[in-house]
Structure 1
Amino acid sequence: MALIPLTAAFREDFVVQLVPVEDSDTIATVAQKVAAHAVGLRVAPRQSPMQVIFQGKVLDPEKKVADVPLSPMDFVEVRYADG
């Protein structure tokens, strides 16, 4: 397992965070880790799945970080799927 630091923001937030993820984490887990820094703090919680966007594309939530082309300090955006 390798630690990969990502720069990340939740779509409705104004803060960009440095979020450490493991290369063995799923993309769904990445969304949860990013959301932990914004949802319930500056973003209202919703009962909706979240998506991770990298270079304009929605990443498959079941893939592992090691299976997508994410490198240290890459920027990802997380958003609610319904909005």
Structure 2
Amino acid sequence: MATLPLTALFEGDVLELLIPVDDNDTVEAVSAAIAHHVVGRRVPERDAPIRLRHNGRVLDPQERIGAAGVGPLDHVEAFYA
């Protein structure tokens, strides 16, 4: 278990975020961490799942972020599915 800092953007938002997560966190947990700073503030809340994209590939929500090929300071994008 190690800290994995990521740069992140939530689709529709205007601010890039620096999000520290644990490399053992699920993709779903990382998506929720990003949404926590954005949804209901600059992006309206929707009744839809939030997914995470890395290098154009949508990641499996149950996969561990460290095992998904995401490295330190990589850029990820959260979006409503």
Shorter-chain TM-score: which interval? over 0.9
User: What percentage of residue pairs aligned between the two structures are identical?
Assistant: 42
1:40 corresponds to 2:40: yes
Instruction: List structure 1 runs of 4+ shifted beyond 3 angstroms.
Output: none
Question: Over the residues paired in the alignment, what is the CA RMSD in angstroms?
Answer: 0.6
Can you give the 5+ residue segments of structure 1 that lack an aligned partner in the other structure? Answer: none
In the TM superposition, what are the counterparts of 1:72-83 in structure 2 within 5 Å?
72-81=72-81
Q: What is the aligned partner in structure 1 of residue 2 from structure 2?
A: 2
- 1:55 is matched by which residue type in structure 2? N
The CA deviation at 1:37 is 1.1
Q: TM-score, normalised by structure 1?
A: 0.95
The CA deviation at 1:10 is 0.2
Q: What is the aligned partner in structure 1 of residue 25 from structure 2?
A: 25
Can you give the 5+ residue segments of structure 2 that lack an aligned partner in the other structure? Answer: none
Aligned length in residues: 81
Q: What is the aligned partner in structure 1 of residue 63 from structure 2?
A: 63
Q: TM-score, normalised by structure 2?
A: 0.97
